[in-house]
Chains A and B, each alone.
Chain A
């Protein structure tokens, strides 16, 4: 029941995206998780259909949709295949969006059309081995040298890292200026100094090629600076505001999938002569799951709606991300519990949902960082 935040367009959109995901992603979701394989065959189709340029204007090859639409798409894709939901969320919100919001017109003309059509994939390279929740402590540098920046960076846990062509690198352009000396440089893959590391062997989201990205004395043209020098953390935070809504939508999609599977199994499986759903212990679990999913949905769609209305969204986005990711973990845990031993087996989808949900409490800001953000907003 997300009607307060909906137009007719959103209903048709959800139906369209769900049909596509059921047809194209459902049949391969378990397999690409097992094989840790990025499904180019489906991703190319999604690129042609506009999934990689959801909010980019149509003049730049995008779909020209709003934030509520974005959330619907991420929720629906993640309901079937969270790893591809992750790919889309990161690509659209923390790679493409900063170029749209902070890029010069020339930069937009160069990067947005291929990104929006999915011909190139984007990534956001902030985290380093010793800088995650505290982005101000990154050590990557980009120092001016003639017409170029000389970039040295060791970025880890880069979502889409194995496939990204356009990477937003957070680096110090003024090493003396502390947090105000961090800038965003757009580096393109394809030169020897741009090194993509091995795939991380992760617990969940295994179809997404998460890698490290290292730039060793990599020369990047001077006009690849996004925004102004020293604006890096501001760009990062603005990107993460929308990114958090995307991750919240992703967590919501996983939780919704787990709820559906839990309900289905509770109605099918019989113990003590009746379906599990006749046992009060299971009913209590299902009631809590449904309530958590519904509350998460309200918060996620409210944040998206506020953003479309032009309201400040940092608090609502942080609350939605915190709540939805925690809910996803609780709900997938309950879904496994309802399935009993079968839920712990890869033969059932809830095992994957359980693994996929866990990282939503970690990336794009841990739950603890979100509580810090929320407390700061609330306490003033």
Chain B
């Protein structure tokens, strides 16, 4: 039987020099914050048996992120892709993912990265868990099987917390926990030689166009503007001691350091 781990992943924009543009495989990649989540799922499968499913919602470039998940070792991959999903905010994304998770069937662990490298909201994991009505723990560092329940360790500020929980359970994995494995070359060959990624449309999930995309989203991005940070270079002069004193005094004025 084993443990069924479902990992929600995202294809993120790697570099968008001029704001939002068309998504291509060249400017997209698997969200780096999702890799530790995939790694955690693969480690659970290796220790407990079972399977790992990768799930993504988004445009077709998501196929590449899913293929990468398969190359890493995931067993199944599903892309929810429909033109009308374009413009969906985090709430709608969570609704769609929750519908997909329900369709996939029984899941023990539902994994997310803590956030995405491009839109950086950190909302989709907890929102999906809430919609599914399953418990959620964020920023998880370690998952292990205890005597009576799963034990989940997370670190908050200077506190190390140990939680007990039963599955099904939704988790986001801390970016520095579970360093992702290097993808083995045979994994790439195998993933692509028989690339099996299911593509689901909105209708497959029993959702309608008016509830998703821009139309169904309670929030929307109305403006996107690059933030320019002014950087000033000031050369300090004098003997080294004078330069250090001037630097300390300056940092003190900025409040970055206590001045003596």
Contact = CB atoms under 8 A, between A and B. Distances in A.
A73 B186 CA distance: 13
Interface of B is mostly: helix
Interface string B164-195: 00000000000000000011111011111100
Contacts of A62: 186
A63 interface: yes
B78 interface: no
Interface size class of A (residues with CB under 8 A): 20 to 34
Contacts of B182: 16, 19-20, 23, 45, 49
A12 interface: yes
B68 interface: yes
A168 B76 CA distance: 43
A8 B185 contact: no
B71 A16 contact: yes
Given A9-B192, A12-B67, A16-B71, A63 B186 contact: yes
Contacts, number: 64
A48 interface: yes
Nearest to B29: A15
Nearest to B184: A49
Contact of B189 (A20, A48, A63): A63
A20 B182 CA distance: 7
Given A11-B64, A12-B67, A12-B68, A58 B185 contact: no
B184 A8 contact: no
B2 interface: no
Given A16-B182, A49-B182, A49-B184, A8 B25 contact: yes
Contact of A54 (B25, B183, B185): B185
Contacts of B190: 58, 64
A331 B9 CA distance: 41
A11 to B, nearest CB: 6
A170 to B, nearest CB: 30
A21 B67 CA distance: 21
Interface string B109-127: 0000000000000000000
A247 to B, nearest CB: 20
Contacts of B192: 7-9, 12
Contact of A13 (B29, B185, B193): B185
A63 B185 contact: yes
A50 B185 contact: yes
Interface in A38-69: 45, 48-51, 54, 58, 62-65, 69
Nearest to A12: B68
16 contacts: A8-B25, A8-B64, A8-B192, A9-B188, A11-B26, A12-B64, A15-B29, A16-B182, A20-B182, A49-B184, A49-B185, A54-B185, A63-B184, A63-B185, A63-B188, A65-B188
Interface of A: 7-9, 11-13, 15-16, 19-20, 23, 45, 48-51, 54, 58, 62-65, 69, 73
